[in-house]
Structure 1
Amino acid sequence: MDRAEATTSQQEGGLRRDLSGRQVGMIAIGGAIGTGLFLGSGLAINMAGPAVIIAYVLAAFAALGLAYAMCEMIVVHPEAGGFGAVAHRYLGSFAGFVQRWIYWFAQVVNIGSEVVAAGLYMQFWYPQLPLWIPVVGFSVIMLAVNAAAVKFFGEFEYWFAMIKVVTIIVFIALGFTYIFFGLPGQEATGFGALTEYDGFLPNGVGAVWLAMTVVTFSYLGTEAIALTASESRDPRRDVPRAARGLVLRLGLFYVLGMLAVVSIVPWNQVSTEEDVMQSPFVRLFDTVGIPAAAGVMNFVILSAALSAMNTNLYITSRMTYSLAKDGFAPRWFTVLSANGTPRRALLISALGLGLAAAVAVGSPDTAFPMLLGIALFGALVTWLIILASHLAFRRTRTAQGLPDSPVRLPGAPVTTVLAMLFVAAVLLTTPFTEQFSVAWQAGVPFLLLVCLAYVLVMRSRSRRS
C-alpha cells in the first residue's frame, strides 16, 4: 500500500484518529478479558481437570493465528468496521452484511449480560439493592463514556482494564511464590496436585476437547482490536503491536493462571458456581492474608464486567456505523457528533443493551440462554469469516501483483486453514456440551434470519435504484 493509499484509507469515514498505541492495546485487553477468568474458568477445570492447561495452550495458538491474519488485512485497510469491511471487500456484500450483523447481535447480548452481572456484584455489598438500579446506573455511565470523544473513551478504558491486568499479575506472582517457596504459615505446594487426584487426565482426552468450547469462549474478543484501526493514530504500527501483545498476554494470563489454580487447589474442589466467594482468586488471597479478600475480588470482577461492557459498546457502535456507511443500516447512523463520535450508532446499541438486560433479568432460565447461544454461535461464525477473508485477501493481492502487507501470518495459507478447522471443530462440538448445546438451536435459525434480512435489504435497494 503506497503512502497516498494509506492516507486515503486512514481518513475514511470521518472518525477521528485519537487513540494512542497504549490505548489501542488496553482496549483489546478490556474486550477480551471479562469475568470468565475470575469466575467461569472453574467450569473448564471441572470438565478437563489439570489437563485444562493443554486446552488453553491450543486455543491460544488459534487466537494467535486469527490475530495475525486479521492484522495482515487491517493494516492495509484500516477502515471503519474492521474485519466486517474487509469481508465486504474480499468476500462480497453478503458476507460483509452477515458477519457484521451477527457480530453486532453477539456483542449486544454480551453487553446486556455484563451489565446485569455488574448489578449482581453490587448486591454483594448491598443485598437489598433492587437489581434495576445498578443496571440502569452503570448503563448510563458507560453510554456517557462512549458518547464522549474517543480519546476520553480510550483513556478511561486504559485505566479500567489496568485493574484486571494488575490483579492477574499479582495473582500469578503469589500463586507461583506459593508453589515454589510457600507463604507465611503455608508450605510450598509444588506441582503434585497436577497428578495426585486421579491423574493429569482424570476425565480422559474427550473431556479436554469438550472443555475447549469453554476455553475458546475465553479468547473471544481478540477480534475487537480490528475495530480500533479506523481511530488509531498509527494503525500500521499500533494494531499489529496491540494484537501480538494481546494474544501473548491472554496466553500467559490464562495458561499461567490456570497452572497456578490447579497446582494449588485440587481440580475436583474448584467450584463452577458464579459466586465471588467460590473464586480461586479469593481462595489464594485469603491464604495470603489479604484483608477482605472477597470484597477486593468483587471490586475487581465488577471492574472486569464494566470494562468489557464499555469496550463492547464501542465495538457495536462502530459496527453499526460501518453497516450504515455500506447501506446495510439506515444512513441516519452515519452522522457524527461534533467530537467525531457516532452517537446515533451508539443509540441503537443502547437499545439492544436495554433489551438484553431486560431479558436477562426477566427470563434468566429460558430466554436468556437462547440469546447467549446466538452470541456464542455468532462469535465463532465471525472468526470463520475473518479467516475466510484472509484466504481471499492473500489470493486477490497475489493475483493482482500487489505488495505484501507489512504484517504477515507465518505459514499461511496452511495456518489459516488449520485455524479455520479448529474453530469449525469447536463450533461443531458445542451441541455436545451441556452449557453451550443451545448455541446451534438458537444460532442457526438466527443466522438464517440474518440471511433473509440481506435478501430483503438488497431487494429494497434495487427497487430504490
Structure 2
Amino acid sequence: MTGEAPAPATVEARSTGLRRALSGRQVGMIAIGGAIGTGLFLGSGLAISLAGPAVIVAYVVAALAALALAYTLAEMTVVHPEAGGFGAIAQRYLGAGAGFVQRWIYWTAQVVNIGSEVVAAGLYVRFWYPQLPLWVPVIAFSVIMLVVNAVSVRFFGEFEYWFAMIKVSAIVVFLVLGVLYIVVGLPGRPAVGLDALTEHGGFAPNGIGGVWLALTVVTFSYLGTEAVAVTAAESRNPVRDLPRAARRMVLRLALFYVLGMAVVVSIVPWQDAAEASGVQSSPFVTLFEAAGVPAAAGVMNFVILTAALSAMNTNLYVTARMGHSLAVDGYAPRWMARVNQRGVPRNALALSATGLVLAAVISATAPQEAFAMMLGIALFGALVTWLLIFATHAAFRRKRSAAGLPASPIRMPGAPVTTALAALFVAAVLVTTAFTDHFNTAWKAGLPYLALVVLAYLAIRRYRRNAAERPTEALER
C-alpha cells in the first residue's frame, strides 16, 4: 500500500455495512469499559507486593506509555476511521502481513479475556449463592451479552455507557472517601495521613528492581486502551469524538489507577494490601466499611461483577469488529463480513462467541497449566499489538510526509522520538515478562502462537497467488 489518504475533512470509512451510530459520550465510555476490568478492584496485590508504596510510580510510568498510545491511535484513526481500527491501518502502512497478524493475535487475546471475565462474573455471583453451579451464571451472562451486542450498535453503546458508569461511579466514591480518610478522617476514625507510604520499610522497600518488575504487572492494567480505535467506523463524528475519547480515557485511567493506588497504600499497610485476595479483603471494602457503608462487601461484589461484565461486553464488540474487518480484507471467511439490517456483524460475533465458550470451558475445567497458557497468549498478543501500533504510527508519519499529504488534526507530541521511546518501553516490558514467574507463559505460549499466525498468513498469501495465476496459465495453454 502507498499509504495515501484523503484529507481528514473528507475521510470516510470503507463501505462495509457498519453504521455510524455511536455518540461521543458512548465512544468515551466504551473506551473506559474495555480498559477497566476487575484488576483495579482485586488485581493490584501482586504489583504492590513487588514495589511496595512505589507502585504509585509504576502506575504513573505506565500511564505515560498508555497516553502515547492514545495519541498515536487518535492521530491515525481520524484520518482512517475504518472497520478494524488499528489493524486495518497497520495493513495500509506496514503491509498485509502486519495487518493480518495484528488483528488475529489481538482477536485471540480478547477472546481469552472474554472467557476469563465471564468465568470471573460467575464466581462473583457465587459470593451470594455459593451452591449455584458455575456453568449457570456463565451461560446466562454469555447469552445476555451476546444479545446486547446483536441488537444494534446504538443499543450496545447505550447499554455499555450506563453499565460502565457503575464502576466509574464506585471508583470516584472510593477516591473521595479515601482522600477524606487520609486528610480529615471519617466519622469515628481519625485521619490516617501519609505515614504508611514510608513507615513499613520505606517508599520503595524492594528497590528500583522491584518497581520495574511491578511495571510488568501494572502495564497490563492499561491494556484495553487501544479498544477506542475500533469504534472509528461506527462513530458519528470520528474526527471529533475519537481524539477526545482517547485523551479523556487515559487521563481518567491515570487518575483512577494512580490516585487509587495512592489511597490504597496510604490507608492499608502495603504488606496487607499485597496479601489481599477476594472481595472481603479488597481495600475498597475496607474503606467502605470504615465509612459506614451498609453491606460493604455485598455492594463491592456487585460493582466488581458489573466491572467484569462491562469489560466482557466491550471486548465482545471489539472481537466481532476485528473478525469482520479481517473478512472484509479477505483474511477470514467471507461469511464473517456480512452484516444484518441494523449493521451488526452477527456472523463475526458468533465466531467470537464460539471462542468465548471455549475459553470459559477451559478456564472452568482445565488444569491450571492450560488456563495459564491461554492467558500467556492473551498477554503476549496485547503487548505485540501495542508494539505494532507504534510501528504503524512511525510509518504513517513517514509515508504521509513523503507524499506531501496534510497532517492529521491531532498529532502525537514529540513524535517520532516519543513514539520510539514508548515502543522501547513496551518492548522492555515484554522481554521482562520472560524472566518473571507470574508472566513467563506469555513467551512460552505467545511466541509459538505468533509463529502459527505468521505461517497461516504465508499459506493464505501463497494460495491467493496460485489462484490468481491459474487463469493466466489456462489461457497460455
Q: Please report the TM-score for the alignment, with normalisation by the length of structure 1.
A: 0.98
Partner of 1:376: 379
Distance in 2 separating the partners of 1:106 and 1:313? 12
Matching residue within 174, 179, 193 for 2:196 = 193
Partner of 1:310: 313
Q: 8 Å contact 1:40–1:272 — kept in the other structure? A: no
Identity of aligned pairs, percent? 69
Partner of 2:465: 462
Distance in 2 separating the partners of 1:242 and 1:174? 27
How much does 1:24 deviate?
0.1
Partner of 1:418: 421
How much does 1:5 deviate?
7.0
Partner of 1:442: 445
Partner of 2:23: 20
Partner of 2:216: 213
One-letter code aligned to 1:193: A
Q: 8 Å contact 2:11–2:81 — kept in the other structure? A: no
In the alignment, does 2:454 pair up with 1:451?
yes
Q: 8 Å contact 1:271–1:278 — kept in the other structure? A: no
Distance in 2 separating the partners of 1:381 and 1:265? 35
Q: Please report the TM-score for the alignment, with normalisation by the length of structure 2.
A: 0.96
Partner of 1:321: 324
Give deviations 1:167-198, integer Å, cap 9, x for gaps.
00000000000000001111101100000000
Residue 255 to residue 364, structure 1, CA distance change in 2 (3 Å): farther
Residue 126 to residue 214, structure 1, CA distance change in 2 (3 Å): same
Question: Where does 1:267-278 land on structure 2 (aligned, <5 Å)?
Answer: 267-272=270-275, 274-278=277-281
- CA-based RMSD of the aligned residues comes to 1.2
Matching residue within 14, 34, 37 for 1:34 = 37
How much does 1:433 deviate?
1.8
Q: 8 Å contact 2:7–2:79 — kept in the other structure? A: no
Q: 8 Å contact 2:102–2:388 — kept in the other structure? A: yes
Q: 8 Å contact 2:90–2:99 — kept in the other structure? A: yes
Q: How many residues align?
A: 465
How much does 1:2 deviate?
9.0
Question: Where does 1:273-288 land on structure 2 (aligned, <5 Å)?
Answer: 274-288=277-291
Question: Where does 1:91-110 land on structure 2 (aligned, <5 Å)?
Answer: 91-110=94-113
Give deviations 1:11-43, integer Å, cap 9, x for gaps.
531210000000000000000000000000111
Distance in 1 separating the partners of 2:7 and 2:225? 30
How much does 1:47 deviate?
1.1
Distance in 2 separating the partners of 1:438 and 1:376? 9
One-letter code aligned to 2:110: Q
Give deviations 1:105-127, integer Å, cap 9, x for gaps.
00000000000000000000000
Partner of 1:227: 230
Residue 364 to residue 158, structure 1, CA distance change in 2 (3 Å): farther
Q: 8 Å contact 2:184–2:191 — kept in the other structure? A: yes
Distance in 2 separating the partners of 1:248 and 1:446? 33
Q: Could you say what secondary structure the match of 1:277 adopts?
A: coil
One-letter code aligned to 1:110: N
Matching residue within 325, 335, 354 for 1:332 = 335
Q: Could you say what secondary structure the match of 1:276 adopts?
A: coil
Distance in 2 separating the partners of 1:159 and 1:274? 28
Q: 8 Å contact 2:7–2:405 — kept in the other structure? A: no
Give deviations 1:353-380, integer Å, cap 9, x for gaps.
0000010011151101100001000000
Residue 88 to residue 70, structure 1, CA distance change in 2 (3 Å): same
Q: 8 Å contact 1:229–1:235 — kept in the other structure? A: yes
One-letter code aligned to 1:23: Q
Q: Could you say what secondary structure the match of 1:12 adopts?
A: coil
Distance in 2 separating the partners of 1:305 and 1:438? 23
Distance in 2 separating the partners of 1:56 and 1:19? 30
Q: 8 Å contact 2:115–2:359 — kept in the other structure? A: yes
Matching residue within 60, 70, 74 for 2:73 = 70
